[in-house]
Amino acid sequence: MKKHIIISGVPRAGKSTVSRMISKAYGYQHISMDSVIAGIEKTFPETGIDSDANDIGCLENVLRISSKIAPFIRAMTDSGEYDELDYGMVIDVFQLLPSDYVKYIDRDVCDIYYFITSDVSPEERFALLKKYDTPKDYTYYKSDQENMDGCKDIVEISRFYREQCIEYDLPYFETAKNRNIIFEEFAEHFK
């Protein structure tokens, strides 16, 4: 097992569930990049990181954020903070493209796994979102129309992630169907 693990992919694909599972089973420190990115957005607007940017499409925004977050994650994993400890971090992040992982992250110390929902229609993705949505999720407070529009974007992003995972030979798990079975398969793969 590598010192650090990144769990990336789209919302409601199981990133947080899997990250917590790894953290609990193997003693990794769980880092949710959603909170870190929100802090960067509010504190350092000059970075151009804006999860809710309306000036560009959702995929373009993921591309922009990924190109800025990937070097940040590299700095986190290179910091030496965990060198003397037995455990490392499991980093849960939406906006990290496979191409930026390959470009910026040291693969000798950090593995990555993608969780996506690319083999469904936006309508099926919407049903999945509704099934797993809780008051802890930002989508819980959005209208059905906003969430449906978001589901169209998520399916597009999932398909883009899948293409890049294939191109860069990175592992990905399709969780739109048979989610719990996929989680069990991942747990076996991860061992």
Report yes or no: 83 and 57 within 8 Å, Cβ to Cβ. no
- pLDDT, tens only, 94-108: 999 999 999 999 999
Instruction: Write the single-letter amino acid at 9.
Output: G
pLDDT level of residue 138 (50, 70, 90 thresholds): confident
| pLDDT over 70 (residue 142) | yes
pLDDT level of residue 54 (50, 70, 90 thresholds): confident
pTM here? 0.91
Where do we find the tokens 């989680």? 183
Q: What does the pLDDT average to over 73-86? A: 74
| Percent of the chain surpassing pLDDT 90 | 66
Q: What 3-state DSSP class applies to 92? A: strand
| pLDDT over 80 (residue 150) | yes
Backbone angles phi and psi of 162, in degrees to 5: -60, -45
- Hey, which residues does 84 pair with through a beta bridge? none
Run of H or E including 26: helix 15-26
| CA atoms of 4 and 19, how far apart (whole Å) | 11
| CA atoms of 90 and 73, how far apart (whole Å) | 11
- Provide the pLDDT for residue 86: 63
| pLDDT over 60 (residue 82) | no
| pLDDT over 70 (residue 83) | no
- Provide the pLDDT for residue 67: 95
- Provide the pLDDT for residue 55: 79
- Provide the pLDDT for residue 1: 73
pLDDT level of residue 158 (50, 70, 90 thresholds): very high
| CA atoms of 102 and 39, how far apart (whole Å) | 25
Map out the domains of the chain with their CATH numbers.
4-190 (3.40.50.300)
| pLDDT over 70 (residue 84) | no
